[in-house]
Chain A
Amino acid sequence: GAVVSQHPSWVICKSGTSVKIECRSLDFQATTMFWYRQFPKQSLMLMATSNEGSKATYEQGVEKDKFLINHASLTLSTLTVTSAHPEDSSFYICSARDGSVSTDTQYFGPGTRLTVL
């Protein structure tokens, strides 16, 4: 149980285009989802916290107009990188918290590697 998927696994795009990444909880309802970014050989940095049906809470320094987050259902959150540039190239990982249990455990997706040319 507690599986989180991400799509796509990797994406290569041209500078200036927008890229959408999906994060799904497959066997549980995720009231809260989180989006992280990880640069090579570095740690995960939390970008934003997404609660179903409400606006995402962004961490300091993360541009909300550039990284659009939508959490329209209890099993799906999307991250759209708008007008992507090479410096946005990174590994994007989502995680989800099971709303039916009182635990702090987050279940992580396999990640999406974005390369912007």
Chain B
Amino acid sequence: SQQGEEDPQALSIQEGENATMNCSYKTSINNLQWYRQNSGRGLVHLILIRSNEREKHSGRLRVTLDTSKKSSSLLITASRAADTASYFCATATTTGGGNKLTFGTGTQLKVEL
């Protein structure tokens, strides 16, 4: 089963508006990361938040982490058409084989002019 469930599955907004995506997970984590993927392309790392952090900012991105609720949110402020992409959360956990990432189901964001 998926470690991370994201909602909404798809989101369509107007340029300039804010976009919020949520991610829930099931097990204890070392950190949580957000990635962007343009259609048919590889992943771009956006931001990493550690399990002992509650909020982190990077440019127009704001990420929160609530370990008690096992959830995280990604806020993109003042969205642009170029932000159109799929966004994935990924939880980092330690296994017998080392650290690994487990990806959520993703949110498809469309920013319209």
Contacts and interface: CB of A to CB of B under 8 A. Distances in A.
Interface in B19-55: 30-31, 33, 35, 40-45, 48
Given A104-B30, A105-B33, A113-B40, A43 B106 contact: yes
Main secondary structure of the interface of B (DSSP, over half): strand
Contacts of B35: 108
A44 interface: yes
A59 B104 CA distance: 17
A4 B42 CA distance: 10
A105 B97 contact: no
Main secondary structure of the interface of A (DSSP, over half): strand
A93 B43 contact: yes
Interface residue tally of chain A, by bracket? 20 to 34
Interface in B39-77: 40-45, 48
A34 to B, nearest CB: 7
Contact of B105 (A4, A43, A105): A43
Given A34-B100, A43-B2, A110 B33 contact: no
Contact of B97 (A4, A57, A95): A57
A105 B2 contact: no
A19 B4 CA distance: 31
A104 B103 contact: no
Given A104-B33, A104-B48, A105-B48, A43 B42 contact: no
B45 A105 contact: yes
Contacts of A36: 103
27 contacts: A6-B42, A32-B98, A34-B101, A43-B2, A43-B88, A43-B104, A43-B105, A46-B100, A46-B101, A46-B103, A49-B98, A51-B98, A93-B42, A93-B43, A95-B43, A95-B101, A104-B31, A104-B33, A104-B101, A105-B45, A107-B45, A108-B43, A109-B42, A110-B41, A111-B40, A111-B41, A111-B42
Interface of A: 4, 6, 32, 34, 36, 41-46, 49, 51, 57, 91, 93, 95, 103-111, 113
Interface of B: 2, 30-31, 33, 35, 40-45, 48, 88, 92, 97-106, 108
Given A108-B44, A108-B45, 11 more contacts: A42-B106, A43-B104, A46-B101, A46-B103, A95-B101, A104-B30, A104-B99, A105-B33, A105-B45, A106-B45, A108-B42
